[in-house]
Amino acid sequence: MWRNYLTVGIRALAKNRTYAFINIFGLALGIAACLLILTFVRYEFSYDSWLEDADRTFQVQSFYEATPQGGEAFELQITSYPAGQALKKDFPQIETLVYLTSPPMTVVQDGKPSKVSNGIYADGNLFDVIRVPFVRGDRATALDRQDAVALSEAEAIRRFGTADPIGKTLTITTGKLTQDYRVTGVFRDLPKNTHMAMELVARVDIPTLFGDRHFMLTSWNSQGGQVYFRLKPGADIGAITRGLPAWEKRNIPDDVSDSSRSNPADYQHWEMTNVRDIHLGRAQDAAEKPGSDKRTVLTFAIIAMLILGMACVNFTNLATARASQRAREVALRKVLGATRAQLITQFIGESMIVAIIAMLIGLALVEITLPGLNAFLDADMTISYLGLHGLLLPVIGLTILVGLAGGLYPAFYLSRFQPAQVLKANKSAADAQGSGRLRNLLVVAQFAISIALIICTAVVYGQTIYARTVDAGYKRDGLLQIAALSTPQAQAVGEALVQEMRNIEGVSAVGRGTIALNSGNNNITSVRRAGTSGEQRVALGIYAMDAGFIPSLGGRLIAGRNFSASQPMDDATLPTPSTPEAERALMQRGINAVISEAAVTRLGYDSPQAAIGKQLLVAFSPGDTDLGNTPATIVGVVGDVRYRSVRDPLQPIIYYHRTSGYSDMLVRFSGISPATMNARAEAVWQRLVPEIPYSARLVDDIVNDMYVADEKRAQLFGMFAILAVVIGCLGLFGLAAFTAERRTKEIGIRKVLGAKTIDIVRLLVWQFTRPVLIANLIAWPIAWWVMRDWLNGFDMRIGLGPAPFLTAGLLALVIAVLTISAHAWRVARTNPVHALRYE
């Protein structure tokens, strides 16, 4: 019996090759897309699960709430040094805790300086908390000594080749700290599915490292590093979480300023996040590597199931459409004694054959496509069929599910035909029961999914292009950003660097600042207008810049003037090391300041011109010195500059001027190629600062990199939209073919009665475009709601106008018309004699 079912099923497929191709190829595409997307989803959720004791390893994260004074909301993967020390002291459930920080490092080896992309300082044995596997040395003792450093496999090979690096010496310089280190271990290169990025880990005494920034050791608002800890076996993280409110009260001192008192815990709270949840967690600011969003990943999982569902819909639609052709077969089998159960078994078996063939083709497509997807996403996804995480059982289950989903309804539908009605005299096979209403509903659902995906793709692409091209207050073209100015070696020749850069042919402006494009700097202070109470303080970003900074950016001076070296009050430089006398003198004298347009609004001035000459009281903290309420006279107002992504709120800023202590340099050039400019700037740097590796990027590249994740998301949506449209069109083509075949006699009669070919084509096209028009009415509100929620995550965003919706609807309509028009034209041109000759 089973062999008979198999033979009948294979013959049915061979007899209707177009139907078989559409079903098998459509299902294979749907299965391949589903498996690829679900592989990606599983990969995203697998981050750091490979770590030993991952269930007991946690990161301390800081969350800032927005305040009425203008303080920004931040969700940080870093926290303050005092927070880690207080946690270690107060919670015995913590077995071991380590503080990490990642300042710029210069490694000197054999007298040659080089930079480390992912260098980390740790105040303890990091590998006792983050238990990565070692290939050389002992993980348990790798960082027990203050002069110990561990390297990744790739970093060890880069520095020492194939020689054993254990015991070799490296000199590491960060700021004013220079220390010799001995290599004590080599750990395996981290896989790509980790939130961590580390190639070199050196042990350091944190108070020594922060020697010139003591506020980092005491301030609960100075987040300069990451804190990881490992729980003792059997300890409950919930106990620590429940104890945090009391812990905050015991440990966090009040901040007293302007006779007002506040506490960092009033607008900041801490969470303990398991390492496996960091990549998709809520906190993504100050991350070592770009994370992702759990909702986005789950959205892709939903899309995977929708695409697979579309493929199953094709099967159901085409199977019910072909019911007219198989009505006589069913009737004859019933007359010969077949039961309905046997017929259901037969048709489900045929569906399983299609599902098995499609699954095999789909798996082949996955194997072919996966390397390209890995390269596109910079991932390391793999597919294995055996083992705990193997695909064999899921594939078998998916095949059965697809076979049942695609074949269950057709099986019950076909098996209910009554022999007497089908076989009675002059009863055409085309008159078999079934109104086609379900088929139309399924086509509507297919195209609604396709249209919604097209809209999402268009909106994401539109927002990405807008983010890259919107006026951010500076000119991107012809701007080079040079880092590493904060090193003592670069500070010593700061003015000479500026002058030499200006002398390069093609350079029009050079400026320095403590902020730059996407630099990660975020310094906030409290400011109030002179003559107002302490309760009227507002939060502003505060950064130093020289007179060339705004011209280098290509920014705008709106009112007043820029800083000038000829104005003594503009200079807020303190001696190094600073003295109490110099600090008191600067506080009594006051400083001049330039503010941004947004700061004018936040401070409550009527216009930029009205702010000129007004005095502010600023909580001024240059370097490690807190000068309290320093008078600052506004001498200029400049246009707003968006240094960060358009996702982040625009920060109102107060700028001050000093002669040193800058972190970044901006060089404006024209008339020469970017490569030539970079080479000339590097030559100047190497001549003046040979001890520090040159580090520079074009601002155009920096901005593009800020939106890479959004662009890839748009491209993924685009790929899925194309797949959905292809699958939908395959089904539509199949339905059109079978419907036209079923209506051959009707078309012949219409032509005999005078209908023209164009009238027949219009009739058929209208029949199959109506579901597409209805699909628009379903897809538009759903896509609008999803994209509105996504766009709300940007501070600057495009308007959600009708263009993407109309474009997507028109595109789907054109594709549908093109899919069926050629077939409709061929059928409409058929000689009616051939259709009516048996009547």
> For residue 505, what pLDDT is reported?
93
- The more confident residue out of 728 and 784 is 784
Q: Quick check: 839 pLDDT over 50?
A: no
Q: Quick check: 530 pLDDT over 50?
A: yes
> For residue 449, what pLDDT is reported?
86
pLDDT in tens, 272-291: 999 999 999 998 888 888 88
- The more confident residue out of 116 and 9 is 116
> For residue 322, what pLDDT is reported?
62
Residue 703 CA to residue 179 CA, distance in Å, equals 35
528 forms beta bridges with 617
- Where are the strands (E) in 670-799, listed by range? 696-698
Handedness of CA 26, 30, 31, 36 (dihedral sign): positive
Q: Quick check: 57 pLDDT over 60?
A: yes
Q: Quick check: 614 pLDDT over 70?
A: yes
> For residue 640, what pLDDT is reported?
94
> For residue 119, what pLDDT is reported?
92
In the chain, % of residues over pLDDT 90: 39
**Residue 346: strand, helix, or coil:** helix
Residue 749 CA to residue 553 CA, distance in Å, equals 75
Q: Cα angle at 186 between 180 and 191, to 5 degrees?
A: 125
- The more confident residue out of 663 and 520 is 663
Confidence of residue 92 (pLDDT cuts 50, 70, 90): very high
- The more confident residue out of 382 and 680 is 680
pLDDT in tens, 649-675: 899 999 999 988 899 999 999 999 999
Residue 486 CA to residue 492 CA, distance in Å, equals 10
Q: Quick check: 433 pLDDT over 50?
A: no
Q: Where are the domains of the chain?
A: 1-47+307-434, 56-277, 437-469+707-839, 507-669
Average pLDDT over residues 193-207: 92
Are 485 and 663 contacting, i.e. CB atoms less than 8 angstroms apart?
A: yes
pLDDT, mean over the chain: 84
- The more confident residue out of 673 and 66 is 673
Q: Quick check: 4 pLDDT over 70?
A: no
Q: Quick check: 638 pLDDT over 90?
A: yes
pLDDT in tens, 532-561: 876 788 889 999 999 999 999 999 999 999
In the chain, % of residues over pLDDT 70: 87
CA 837 vs. chain centroid, Å, equals: 64
Confidence of residue 453 (pLDDT cuts 50, 70, 90): confident
Of the candidates 294, 287, 289, the one whose C-alpha atom is nearest the C-alpha of residue 77 is 287
pTM value is: 0.84
Residue 720 CA to residue 698 CA, distance in Å, equals 33
pLDDT in tens, 162-181: 899 999 999 998 888 889 99
